[in-house]
Amino acid sequence: MTENAVKPSVNPPLWLLAELTYRCPLQCPYCSNPLDFAAQEQELTTEQWIEVFRQARAMGSVQLGFSGGEPLVRKDLPELIAAARDLGFYTNLITSGIGLTEKKLQTFADAGLDHIQISFQASDETLNAALAGNPKAFQQKLAMAKAVKALGYPMVLNFVLHRHNIDQIDRIIELAIQLEADDVELATCQFYGWAQLNREGLLPTREQIADAEQVVQRYREKMADSGNLANLLFVTPDYYEERPKGCMGGWGAIFLSVTPEGMALPCHSARQLPVKFPSVLEHSLEHIWYESFGFNRYRGYDWMPEPCRSCPEKEQDYGGCRCQAFMLTGDASNADPVCSKSAHHGTILAAREAANQTQIGIDQLRFRNRANSQLIFKGQ
């Protein structure tokens, strides 16, 4: 494909996600990192990351997220933040809060960090510890949420919901209010990576989701009455939808993710696809975004088979999520099985049914840690 053929119809990547590392002190069983992350130990150097930022910014990227793993384990994080800020990015740190200190927060503020999102596993210490695999995590998160607020950052708290904590959603919202969060993301598990591996033990039932929706609505009304402006965003799993989500706003449309070792991806889950994705160590971001096979593979509509090809909704949902189509049908070109028009929609119906039957407890989930990752890498 020539540069002239592609560039006019492709906008630059507005959103750059820097997955700085796969190292993480927690072991959440719904982590979106790849199952075989332990097989990948290389990380880009400080200079290599800054070069990626520089190229992305020159192309027109405006927002840069630092994530992982746990990005705080990178000792050069203040340097990376400062470089990104100097380039003019709006910067966002996505963290568990483990490893954070008031001193580090001040350093990040001095470096120009714009925004911090802290994730919680639950509203109480015991369940948080069981899910995170770390008994001290909850108190640390509370302390750091207060410190973030004290520094004047917009405070975003993220709670990942699943069948083991969604019934506590009232207590989760109470905790967020108590911590004076400005934005609260109540995000039900999306089934990628470790969450997909543990799906049967994590997918809430339809009734659990409906109950949680009512609670969220009650709190929204209560907060509007009291003048409390905390914004509650409730994200439900697409497993209970009949039409798929327009994943990533379209393949290679606005989002570019770079893995710890420098692989460029159109979404955080794409490395599992049987598609060769380019490395930022071998190609310029400009080439990767506009010219590479991986980023062009599912752009536009020509690649679509039926039922998407003739579907009037394809311009809203782009056929759904390529990674979900691959995971559930074995072919990333297929319609996302969430769609009731998909010949594979039965996989979604079966998952809903399994959610009603399952007795899988937290202790039976496969936790995201090096030992489990190595076993999976060896096919066990």
Q: Is 259 in the site for ligand FES (CB under 6 A)?
A: no
**Token pair of 211 as six digits:** 């109950």
Sign of CA dihedral 293, 294, 297, 300: negative
* Minimal distance, residue 183 CB to ligand FES, in Å: 23
Instruction: Round to whole Å and give the CA distance between 244 and 100.
Output: 37
Based on the shown chain and the rule CB under 6 A, indicate whether residue 365 belongs to the binding site for ligand FES.
no
> From CA 80, how far away is CA 215, in angstroms rounded?
40
CB atoms within 10 A of CB 359: 7
- Least separation, in Å, of the C-beta of 269 and ligand FES? 4
Residues contacting ligand FES: total by CB under 6 A: 9
Q: Cα angle vertex 14, ends 10, 19, to 5°?
A: 115
Contact between 82 and ligand FES by CB under 6 A: the answer reads: no
Tell whether residue 321 is a contact of ligand FES (CB under 6 A).
yes
Q: Does residue number 248 form part of the binding site for ligand FES (CB under 6 A)?
A: yes
Is the CB of 114 or the CB of 185 nearer to ligand FES? 185
Q: Does 299 bind ligand FES (CB under 6 A)?
A: no
Q: Name the segment binding ligand FES (CB under 6 A); options: 39-47, 83-91, 265-273, 275-283.
A: 265-273
Q: Token digits for 376?
A: 């999976």
| Selected range binding ligand FES among 7-15, 226-234, 289-297, 315-323, rule: CB under 6 A | 315-323
Q: How many CB atoms lie within 10 A of CB 380?
A: 7
Cβ–Cβ under 8 Å, residues 46 and 79: yes
Q: Does 247 bind ligand FES (CB under 6 A)?
A: yes
Helix or strand or coil: residue 339?
coil
Pairing of strands 115-120, 155-161: parallel
33 secondary structure, DSSP code? S
Residue 271 within binding range of ligand FES, rule CB under 6 A:
no
What radius of gyration, in Å, describes the C-alpha atoms of the chain? 21
Q: What one-character-per-residue DSSP string does 204-272 give?
A: PPHHHHHHHHHHHHHHHHHHHHHT---EEEEE--GGG-SS---GGGSTTTSEEEE-TT-BEESSTTGGG
Question: Is residue 327 near ligand FES by the rule CB under 6 A?
Answer: no
322 binds ligand FES, rule: CB under 6 A? yes
Binding to ligand FES by CB under 6 A, coded x per residue (else -) over 161-200, reads -------------------------------x--------
Which part of the chain contacts ligand FES (CB under 6 A), choosing from 109-117, 267-275, 343-351, 359-367?
267-275
- Cα-to-chain-centroid distance, residue 246: 15
Neighbours of 301 (CB within 10 A): 13
Q: Which of 81, 270, 339, 355 binds ligand FES (CB under 6 A)?
A: 270
Nearer to ligand FES, 55 or 257 (CB): 257
- Quick one: which segment of 131-139, 193-201, 266-274, 337-345 binds ligand FES (CB under 6 A)? 266-274
Window of 34-42, 104-112, 173-181, 319-327 that interacts with ligand FES by CB under 6 A: 319-327
Termini Cα distance of the chain: 41
String marking each residue 95-134 x if it binds ligand FES according to CB under 6 A: ----------------------------------------
Selected range binding ligand FES among 144-152, 276-284, 317-325, 372-380, rule: CB under 6 A = 317-325
DSSP one-letter code for 166: G
Strands 231-235 and 264-265: unpaired
Residue 169 or 332: the one with the smaller Cβ distance to ligand FES is 332
- Using CB under 6 A as the binding rule, whether residue 155 contacts ligand FES is answered as no
- CA-CA distance, 161 to 169, in Å (whole number)? 8
Sort 172 into a burial class: Cβ within 10 Å, 0-12 / 13-18 / 19+. buried
- Binding interface with ligand FES (CB under 6 A): 192, 247-248, 267, 269-270, 321-323
